[in-house]
Amino acid sequence: MSTVFNPQWNRMMEVDTDLMKRLSSNNFAPVHTGGGCMAWERATDDKGYIWITDSSGAELGTWSARYEAEWIIGRYNGAGDFVCIYALTLTQALKLADTLRAPAEGESATFFGSI
């Protein structure tokens, strides 16, 4: 296990080391998203960002969230518009990170398992 600091809880969180390496090698870094929740974030070329997190938003990669189909990926723009896909494995989320379309202006779209 590795650790990541959660500023909301003012404590370190344990994160599976293999999972951390996998996400880091895909240019994702852990970020605090508010309310004690965390995600893995990667910037996009259009000044937006992509978040990958577990379904609770709080585990960030403990053993229980590692391979289950409970990962969420979202692509956001600077205006707060987003496209999110729920019920993915981590492998599916990482594949989508390179192809998930940017949200249209005013869009707030959620999909389950695919787009």
User: What is the structure's pLDDT at 1?
Assistant: 46
Does pLDDT of 18 surpass 50?
yes
Closest CA to 41 of 73, 1, 9: 73
Bigger pLDDT: 62 vs 91: 91
Confidence (pLDDT) at 63:
47
Question: Which position has the token pair 């296990």?
Answer: 1
pLDDT beyond 90 at 26: yes
pLDDT averaged over every residue in the chain: 79
pLDDT band at 32 (very low <50, low <70, confident <90, very high): confident
Banded model confidence at residue 41, pLDDT cuts 50, 70, 90: very high
Query: Taking the model in full, what pTM does it have?
Result: 0.80
Instruction: Tell me how far the alpha carbon of residue 46 is from its chain's centroid.
Output: 18
Distances in Å between the Cα of 36 and the Cα atoms of 8, 13, 28, 68 are 5, 11, 19, 22
Helices and strands, counts by H and E, the chain: 2, 8
